[in-house]
Structure 1
Amino acid sequence: MATAFADAKPAETENTVAVTATAQVATEVEPAEVAPAAAPGKVQELVTKFGKGLMAPVLGIVAFIALWAVLAPQVDTSLGALPGPVEVAEQGASLYGEWQASNEAKAEFYAVQDARIAAGTQAVAFDYAGSPTFLDQVGTSLKTVALGFALATLFAVPIGLAAGLSPMFNAAINPLVQIMKPVSPLAWLPIVTMVVSATITSADPMLAKSFVISAIVVMLCSLWPTLINTAVGTASIDKDLLNVGRVLRLGTFQKLTKLVLPSSLPYIFTGMRLSLGVGWMVLIAAEMLAQNPGLGKFVWDEFQNGSSQSLARIMFAVIVIGLIGFLLDRIMMMLQAFVSRNRTV
């Protein structure tokens, strides 16, 4: 019997230890299970922080619209009182309605033309000759600034890299850059117009002359920020880094792609953002004078029209121009973040 009780006591001790260990494990696990309860507090904190960051811009916009609505009726122009926010919004809706009506008329035109060709009553297909709507001209302006910005980047980045790597080349082109940089687009336009008109002599060119003229003017006025920032970024590369490239006997292309471009990338994108902003501003003036279909021509045509709705339409176009410029800058920032995500230098 004594032996049996002696054998039973260790079993009880093991059970006691097991229960104690289980309690300790439960005690240790319990905080981990309670931890997620704090998550809603963090979410609320993020929402509050986001709301505070959004509150000031919203209040500023609301205050501006309220001030505009109060002061606009008190300003008299040759076309009547200055339109308020409601009148401008109504003209924006009207312009959208004109775009929809134009698309319906265009679809009907092509449907009728296809039916005539199928029936044999018409032998040649014609393009729709309706006047461009506001949204069509927005698209034309975006295409123009895209071409001008692409040409500016194509010229500015290589020249900036060469200027940053070679002090002699930098000294050679610096006077030209300082002279050309402040030239107004209005001064470039007559020169570019004559050169393009003499170059493009085809009766049916691939790109319209007015479109090419506007794009080249945008290029000539917007390439300087990219060129200067690229040169500054390239010249500020750590010399020890370039010495490492020499020790590793990197070729010119490898040095550019592995050392120079990654190091100067923030400067290049800063210049490109500035160039895109300058190009978008220059475009409106170029389109006005070159009569290239776009936002600039739309504003000029409405000014020449002189109807009671023209001023509200011009103001709506100004708001659209500002919003597009803001969006283009945001797009460049996202592109910079995407390209720089794996930058190791």
Structure 2
Amino acid sequence: MPMSAPTHTGLPFDDIRQLVSTMPGPDAAARAMAEARQSDLLKPPGALGRLEEIAIHLATWQAKGMPTADRPMVAVFAATHGIAERGVSPYPGAVTKQMVAAFTDGKAAVNQICASFDAGLRVFDLALDLPTPDITQDAALDERACAATIAFGMQAIAGGADVLALGEMGIGNTTIAAALCHALYGGTPEEWVGAGTGATGDILDRKVAAVREAIAFHGAALSDPLEILRRVGGREVAAMVGAILAARIERVPVVLDGYVVTAAAAVLHAMDPSALDHCLAGHVSAEKAHARLLEKLRLKPILDLGMRLGEGSGAALALGVVKAAVATHRGMGTFSDGGVSNKA
């Protein structure tokens, strides 16, 4: 049954919390069927390594004894940020809108990777002409707007995708991701701030300062994950929270991209440590804090290729591995079929 956006029952975040509290768990019967098939495939136990784990993971969360990856979808969420005006990136904020045009025209890296693995691509424009306020001086969103944006992100699974990969585009949003992580996990701004699109020298210093000022400005209000999201997040981050949540409810496994996507996922994890159990980390990016964040979330990346492009490129590339895992699980012969002797 298609999922509908949450209805308002009181404060807007109440509905989001209600959805999180009703998330379905793993399907034990589907997992048992997938494990039994893996043990019968024409190979020594564990010989396909991580591919076996991925196939069983998909079966468990799709609630299918035979998992599928026939309709993988990459959803890229794009938004603009007032913090970009503080010079926290080597690139101007206008690049966000220009890159969205490149996605639409099929000219970006993610387009080529999606084509390589027969994956669909949807791009969500989140009010690109209306940047969120500078988070060092104001909240990015009010509660109603944040909840509505989370609901909007739930549309990512519309159309029947059986695996969802998430990506983002937004100049300044690695600063946003660093602020989110600093608010969620503490430490110092320096531990969570990285080069992003290539920040060095004074630009990197401004980025660190912006994160420090944002956390100081919002202060004691940063005690709740959804408050953290609305105050120091952004529209694409809120929408990705919605996409991950909707995918869980509809039993669609999710492949996460880099630092910004994983920071969005961390908001849900802070609400419920089991909230990301249906997710796979597509890759670990070269953004220095991404590996640290994955460790916090106990997610093991599929790929480590030194990528730091964003736009869903790492997650899209990991879909190739996911599809191979499903193909071997479904297509290989079994010892039960006869013709090959199993171990004594």
Query: What interval of TM-score do these two structures reach, taking the shorter chain for normalisation?
Result: under 0.3
Please, what TM-score do these two structures have when normalized by structure 2?
A: 0.28
Between Structure 1 and Structure 2, the one with more strand by share is 2
Between Structure 1 and Structure 2, the one with more helix by share is 1
From the CA coordinates, give the structure whose radius of gyration is larger: 1
Please, what TM-score do these two structures have when normalized by structure 1?
A: 0.28
